[in-house]
A and B are shown apart, each in its own frame.
Chain A
Amino acid sequence: MSEPMVQVHNVTKVYERGKQKIEVLHGLTLDIPKGDFVALMGPSGSGKTTLLNLIGGLDKPSAGEIIVAGERIDQLGSGQLARWRAHNVGFVFQFYNLMPVLTAEGNVELPLLLTKLSGAQRKRNVAVALEVVGLADRAKHKPRELSGGQEQRVAIARALVSDPQLLVCDEPTGDLDRKTADEILGLLQVLNREHGKTIVIVTHDPKAAEFARRTLHLEKGQLLEQAA
């Protein structure tokens, strides 16, 4: 069996708010194999977003180890971490976080500016990514000209365009109606089953559990595992 995509060993995360210290994760351990599709669920304040941020390399643990895509990311400097993120992770957020000044194409092209690809090559990759999410005909529209669902697709295309192995999504359907949410979850499922992406999503949506392979529950910074 090959190495898991994500290995979290005994990770603790403590936040300092002024004089207060809040421990959000307590000695958490979990593995996510390659090709898995995990839904992280739990009440507010359970630490699921914090865990997601650590897995995605957006933050560092206060104690413990995190290995993602074979790399000890808890030991990387911030510059190295940035480069690591560019190659290995794609992010999708609840509020899309697209650049309002760029078209759909432009938004998807943004991560490719960090590569050495030529302009023509970048354009090709962007077209492919938009094709995968089914938005090729909206390429030249700005975010304000797109619906919520369409914006989220653009965000997913952006997360895919550098071909990362891991997709990390924070409440990707939180701002969408039922029908659109299902479409997005369906798209994620396709990416997982047909394109082999490992996907971790944080969600409140109980329907998401049906699309994922596994569901993990967090409460007060600790894991309550449940088989899917």
Chain B
Amino acid sequence: MTRAGFVIANLFRKRVRTILTLLSVIMAFLLFGLLQSVNTVFSSGADFVGATRLFVQARVSFTTALPVSMVPKLEAIPGVTRVAYQQWFGGVWQTNTPLIMFALDPQRYHDVYPEWKMPEAQWQAFERTRTGLIVGRQLANQYRWKVGQKIPISSNIWPQKNGSKAWQFDLVGIFDGKDEDWQKRTNLAFIQQDYFDEANQFGIKGRTNFFILKLAEGANAAAISKTVDAMFENSPDETKTQTEKDFNISFVKQIGDIGLIVRWILFAVFFTLLLVVGNTMAQSVRERIPELAVLKTLGFSDGGVLGFVLAEAFALVLAGGLVGLILASLAGAMVEKATGGQFLLALDASVWLLGVAAIVLMSLAVGLLPALRARRLKIVDALAGR
């Protein structure tokens, strides 16, 4: 037996009580893991993006189109090495599954996004084939698409000239991301702007929703953003330029303050847990006053006895917390698999770190008062039952 063994043995004094408390802790941390990873998905989705690309959209809303003719003016700005553009296609797979799909210029896009990895032959096929379509690995896996297939996709914005909503594309390439973060974003589809221009019913040509500016090394992103917006101010095509990262953040913000909701829920959960486990610890110590007194007679110091109680609280919360976080990990991975990568819920390092911090804090919170009581008790009074 060791001190640790003694602590654990004491936990199982009242087995049912310990197990029920443990289960409560597991539930709390399961919820913590799930909610916190949802929160992370929403808030840090932008972190991995570098600062070297700028997004230019119509000032009011990215749903408003801008003329492609702006490209030469944008390319002329010092610090801008390449300009790509993409237009929202509103693609719908089968009856009602929306796709994240854009019409663009293949070569420009390839230049501006080196993070997408695809065999050169496929890039060239995309440039050559009018009706060409390339999709990300995630999307291809989800619908089991293979290069060479003809894929029918409808658009809920743009019917074809013949009035039909259904467009037909040739899948000529599947791309991967350069690392895990980028691989998570491979749920996109791209088609040729030229084909789109000539085939859409409204004869809308040369319009796009976004310009993506690739900047030179060390270029001043903030200054260039201002330059772009100043260039088009007071024109019918006023722009709003920001880094790709800021764009992602502001988009999520429009959905709402997810972080706030998550924090409120977790506050309620942990407050309740504090009471539940705190009560268990307090009861457990109260029942053991004579035993704790005996430990002191044996020569354990006041501090030593405090240590035993704190260790017990820590062991309880640690066991429950780890199991809860692991369950959350598993659940998250299952959700991710089941939705084909649509909901990225697997717990990452930041959530685990926060979880461990929460475990430590909660152990202190529930263990401190009982531990102090144990430290304070007078041997003689405790043994006499006072």
Contact = CB atoms under 8 A, between A and B. Distances in A.
Interface of A: 53, 56, 58-59, 78-79, 82-87, 91, 93, 97, 99-102, 105-106, 109-111, 113-114, 119, 158, 162
17 contacts: A58-B297, A59-B379, A59-B380, A79-B301, A82-B300, A85-B299, A86-B299, A91-B294, A97-B290, A97-B291, A99-B9, A99-B294, A101-B9, A110-B295, A113-B1, A113-B3, A114-B299
A-B CB proximity, top 7 nearest: A86-B299, A101-B9, A82-B301, A97-B294, A85-B299, A111-B298, A58-B379
B315 to A, nearest CB: 14
A158 B296 CA distance: 14
Given A93-B383, A97-B291, A101-B12, A109 B1 contact: yes
Interface residues of B, number: 25
Contacts of A91: 294, 297-298
B298 A86 contact: yes
A5 to B, nearest CB: 18
Nearest to B14: A101
Contacts of A85: 297-299
B311 to A, nearest CB: 13
B9 A106 contact: yes
Contacts, number: 74
Given A79-B302, A79-B303, A93-B383, A113 B297 contact: no
Interface in B256-314: 290-291, 294-304
Given A93-B383, A99-B291, A102-B9, A83 B299 contact: yes
B13 A87 contact: no
A122 to B, nearest CB: 8
Given A59-B379, A97-B290, A78 B6 contact: no
Contacts of A109: 1
Contacts of A162: 299
Given A58-B297, A82-B300, A91-B297, 11 more contacts: A53-B379, A58-B380, A83-B299, A87-B299, A91-B298, A99-B294, A102-B1, A102-B9, A105-B1, A109-B1, A113-B2
A84 B301 CA distance: 10
Nearest to A161: B298
A184 B371 CA distance: 36
A43 B298 CA distance: 28
Interface of B: 1-3, 5-6, 9-10, 12-13, 290-291, 294-304, 379-380, 383
B13 A101 contact: yes
B7 to A, nearest CB: 10
Contacts of B3: 113
B6 A110 contact: yes
Contacts of A93: 294, 383
A129 to B, nearest CB: 14
B299 A82 contact: yes
A85 B10 CA distance: 24
Contact of B298 (A78, A79, A102, A110): A110
Candidate in A56, A58, A79 with the most chain B CB atoms within 10 angstroms: A58
Nearest to A110: B298
B173 to A, nearest CB: 64
A51 to B, nearest CB: 12
B170 to A, nearest CB: 72
A84 to B, nearest CB: 8
B160 to A, nearest CB: 77
A185 to B, nearest CB: 21
Given A53-B380, A58-B380, A102 B300 contact: no
Given A101-B10, A101-B12, A106-B9, A82 B294 contact: no
Contacts of A79: 301-303
A52 to B, nearest CB: 10
A56 B302 CA distance: 17
A165 B309 CA distance: 31
B301 A83 contact: yes
Nearest to B290: A97
A184 to B, nearest CB: 18
A101 B298 CA distance: 17
Contacts of A86: 298-300
A80 to B, nearest CB: 9
Contacts of B9: 99, 101-102, 106
Given A58-B297, A114-B299, A100 B1 contact: no
